[in-house]
């Protein structure tokens, strides 16, 4: 699988691109249903245009409103510290990787690795290395280990499948991604490492939760404020890795 190295601008702090300050008054935007556009799409567009996190992400230079979920998790738990090695699974378009690189003060080529990977291409991020990679690929783990140059202190997974609209199918695919994320994470994590993973509908699949409780000192279910109230997503924050690395099958 091709690997796309990251580089980017100098500061590591994303530049604002809307020119609008946080305190600026914002007018609610109404979207007319265009012929051919479904009502659901129109509501989505209207919600995007009026979502304060979307507007803030534009002002702060983040590529996604999702960036604030990691900002809020880190504000609460304080895990992003200078010098840490981080793997971000399902990173596109790159909001979490931007936050991880900034908050650890990463400088491309000079500091310990911050690796963002996804099946979708991403533009370069200062301080991070980006990989075009399906975490289900046979060689995914050795490729990530090689990019990290060893272990990871933190493994993040905000991975989500493209939804089918069929509730049970989506549920199974989401649970499968969370389990796959941990299969990768336990090959990467250093002692006392941290694993953060997106889960849905009342928490992790029971087997995964049991495994995490065995392998980490503390496991919490958290819904950061930036996660939409209507969304069933939440995050598992598992700290203090004490698991035994399984042999690669």
Ligand X SMILES: C[S@@+](CC[C@H](N)C(=O)[O-])C[C@H]1O[C@@H](n2cnc3c(N)ncnc32)[C@H](O)[C@@H]1O
Considering beta carbons, is residue 100 or 238 the nearer one to ligand X? 100
Considering beta carbons, is residue 161 or 240 the nearer one to ligand X? 161
Asked if 22 and 145 count as a contact pair (C-beta separation under 8 A), the reply is no
Asked if 236 and 199 count as a contact pair (C-beta separation under 8 A), the reply is yes
Side-chain half-sphere of 119: how many Cα atoms within 13 Å? 9
Look up tokens 């995964």; give the residue: 208
Of 38, 198, 213, 223, the active-site residue reads 198
Considering beta carbons, is residue 57 or 238 the nearer one to ligand X? 57
Alpha helices in 106-199 (DSSP H): 140-148, 167-188
Summary count for the chain: helices (H), strands (E) = 7, 7
| Chain residues in the site for ligand X (CB under 6 A) | 63-64, 66-67, 90-96, 118-120, 134-136, 158-161, 177
Could you tell me the smallest distance in angstroms from the CB atom of residue 23 to ligand X? 24
**89 pairs with which residues across the strands?**
117, 157
Is residue 198 part of the annotated active site? The answer reads yes
Could you tell me the smallest distance in angstroms from the CB atom of residue 174 to ligand X? 10
Give the other-Cβ count within 10 Å of 40's Cβ: 8
Could you tell me the smallest distance in angstroms from the CB atom of residue 25 to ligand X? 27
Name the phi and psi angles at 147, rounded to 5. Answer: -65, -35
Q: Which of 168, 129, 170 is nearest to 152 (CA)?
A: 129
Own/partner long-range contacts of 49-54 (Cβ < 8 Å, ≥24 apart): 52/26, 53/226
Considering beta carbons, is residue 149 or 161 the nearer one to ligand X? 161
Considering beta carbons, is residue 119 or 190 the nearer one to ligand X? 119
Could you tell me the smallest distance in angstroms from the CB atom of residue 222 to ligand X? 15
Q: State the catalytic residues.
A: 198
């Amino acid at each position: 699988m091709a690997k796309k190295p990251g580089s980017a601008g100098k500061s590591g702090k994303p530049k604002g691109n809307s020119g609008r300050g946080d305190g600026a008054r914002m007018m609610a935007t109404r979207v007319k249903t265009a012929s051919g556009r479904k009502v659901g799409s129109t509501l989505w567009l209207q919600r995007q245009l009026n979502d304060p996190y979307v507007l803030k992400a534009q002002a702060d230079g983040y590529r996604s409103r999702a960036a604030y979920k990691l900002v809020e998790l880190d504000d609460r738990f304080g895990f992003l510290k200078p010098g840490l090695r981080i793997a971000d699974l399902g990173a596109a378009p790159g909001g979490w990787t931007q936050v991880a690189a900034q908050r650890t003060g990463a400088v491309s080529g000079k500091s310990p690795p911050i690796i963002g990977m996804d099946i979708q291409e991403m533009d370069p991020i200062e301080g991070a290395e980006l990989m075009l990679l399906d975490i289900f690929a046979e060689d995914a783990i050795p490729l990530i280990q090689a990019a990290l140059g060893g272990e990871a202190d933190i493994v993040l997974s905000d991975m989500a499948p493209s939804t089918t609209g069929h509730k049970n199918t989506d549920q199974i695919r989401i649970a499968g991604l969370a389990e796959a994320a941990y299969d990768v994470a336990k090959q990467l994590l250093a002692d006392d490492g941290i694993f953060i993973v997106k889960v849905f509908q009342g928490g992790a699949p029971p087997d995964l939760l049991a495994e995490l409780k065995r392998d980490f000192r503390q496991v919490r279910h958290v819904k950061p404020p930036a996660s939409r109230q209507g969304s069933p997503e939440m995050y598992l924050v598992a700290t203090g890795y004490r698991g035994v690395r399984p042999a690669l099958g």
